[in-house]
Amino acid sequence: MAKIIVLGVGMVGQAIALDLAKSHEVTAADIDEIALRELRDTGEVETTSLDVTEGGRLLSAIAGHDLVISAVPGFLGFETLRTVVDGGRNIVDISFCPENTLELDRLAKRRGVTALVDMGVAPGMDHVFLGHHDESMKIESFECLVGGLPKNRKWPFAYKAPFSPVDVIEEYTRPARYIENGHVVTKPALSDPELVEFDQVGTLEAFNTDGLRTLLTAMPHIPNMKEKTLRYPGHLRLIQALKESGFFKREKIKVGDAEVSPMEFTSKVLIDEWTLAPGEEELTIMRVTIEGEEAGSKKAYVYDLYDEYDEETDVSSMARTTGYTCTAAAELILGGLFTRKGVFPPELVGKQRPCFDRMLAYLAERGVIYTKDGQQIGTGPR
């Protein structure tokens, strides 16, 4: 039994803490006392109040733990990761911070630390699939289409966020980078919309977001790579209207006697509109297409995921698909399957066949089922 501390216990962090608590001694740390109380009331997790921006307190909190999980908001992610790595603790990170986490690789090696980053659903499992096939294929193209959606479409946005609206808006404003014919192409987020059909949900709209992240540097030999976000048709047009009207600007403006950031104001307004109600059903859908040459022949692989809110455990689909990927990665470190030192994104974890197989089996045991070319992979729920 390992000692683990989970930093950040929002919707996904709570799912992580409770999953790991089945086999390990888990402490949850957050500045939000309400979130901590919810976990404390389960009787399965110890809790501690912590502001991760206080470096000294963070180092004290992680001392003596075998593994750290970082599920803090993106704007806190990089410095939290740096502090944990510098403190000599192994870590799995799902903060999805905008900075390049690979910049901490040298520090991690110097401190003898294993840091697995971006270990969610996407980025996360999509990159794991790419890394797995990169071992046996000359890959020509990679595309990931992914989205988390409410089952019931409520006007006007037909969307609910499993995390802070600030992080969602960050995806909608950060320029989208992708690889085309071996060159990095940068376009505005929300660009190049297209309609895509899915058996489970019908027509969805896909548009550019900056989801390739570490693939831009870790897989430079793949000539075509793209990630797009999925939403119900109509959502994109509303977001574009808000964006073009200045509602996502960070510079403060004067309103009467007060100065207000449009981004903060918009997030505050949207948090009620976008927050999932207790027990509200939602889903995660993803399609990963990998094409290239294998054993002298053209080959294409298509991975699909369709997952829903679990009524029995009262865990959202986004918390399941993201959180359980993170805990699967944690078990790779704790079980000695992944022992290399440094900062490693999912695509490099997927290159190791035992890690790839174990992650899929771990997810399937929890009912997160992927299919490959229409056939289920991994095993079913226990």
Which tens digit of pLDDT belongs to each residue from 173-198? Answer: 999 999 999 999 999 999 999 999 99
Query: In Å, how far from its chain's centre is CA 126?
Result: 10
- Which residues share a beta bridge with 150? 282
What confidence tier does 380 reach under pLDDT thresholds 50, 70, 90? low
Q: What is the DSSP letter of 103?
A: G
pLDDT band of 382, cuts 50, 70, 90:
very low
Average pLDDT over residues 153-177: 86
In which band, very low, low, confident or very high, does the pLDDT at 163 lie, cut at 50, 70 and 90? low
- For 27-115, where are the alpha helices, taking DSSP H only? 33-40, 55-62, 74-86, 105-111
C-alpha torsion sign, points 23, 24, 25, 27: negative
Distance CA 61, CA 59 (A): 5
Range name among 15-19, 26-30, 164-168 with the lowest pLDDT average? 164-168
Higher pLDDT, 20 or 165: 20
Average pLDDT over residues 303-321: 95
Domain map (residue ranges) of the chain: 3-117
Predicted confidence band at 273 (pLDDT cuts at 50, 70, 90)? confident
Does the CA dihedral 78-80-82-84 come out positive or negative?
A: negative
For 36-94, write each residue's pLDDT tens digit.
Answer: 999 999 999 999 999 999 999 999 999 999 999 999 988 899 999 999 999 999 999 99
CATH 3.30.70.920 given to domain 3-117: no
The model's pTM: 0.94
Question: C-alpha distances in angstroms, 155 versus 99, 132, 214, 238, 285?
Answer: 34, 40, 35, 11, 20
Any residues with CB less than 8 A from the CB of 87 and at least 6 apart, and which? 58, 59, 62, 63, 111
- How buried is 223 (Cβ within 10 angstroms: 0-12 exposed, 13-18 middle, 19+ buried)? middle
